Amino acid sequence: MTIREVRLQWPHAEKALAGGEEIIVTRDGQPVARLLPYVHPRKASRKSFDPEDHLRQMRRFWKDLPEQPSTDALLARDRDE
């Protein structure tokens, strides 16, 4: 199809794209563009949460930090004050 045909006959071109066809757009008999039907990207599947793996990752991430008091210890200290 020429650029003009695409513009003037858009409903026909749209139906062709919806049917899975591709359209080569030409200017002076030379291809200048290719219209392709849109394909929805697939969502990457997420693996389920593994608490043991998460704990290993957290330990690797925080390994260089000094030992911190637990949340329970901090709460107990705040309640005593």
Q: By the 8 A CB rule, do 37 and 15 touch?
A: no
| Spans of all domains in the chain | 3-35, 51-80
Residues in the chain: 81
Task: List beta partners, residue 24.
Answer: 34
- The residue with tokens 């911190």 is 68
pTM (2 decimals)? 0.48
Q: What tens digit of pLDDT does each residue of 11-68 get?
A: 999 999 999 999 999 988 899 999 999 888 888 788 889 999 998 998 888 888 777 7
Q: Which residue has the higher pLDDT, 18 or 69?
A: 18
Residue 18: burial class (beta carbons within 10 Å; 0-12, 13-18, 19+): exposed
Q: Give the per-residue pLDDT at 36.
A: 92
What DSSP string describes 39-70? -PPPPPPPPPP-HHHHHHHHHHHTTTSPP---
Q: Give the per-residue pLDDT at 31.
A: 93
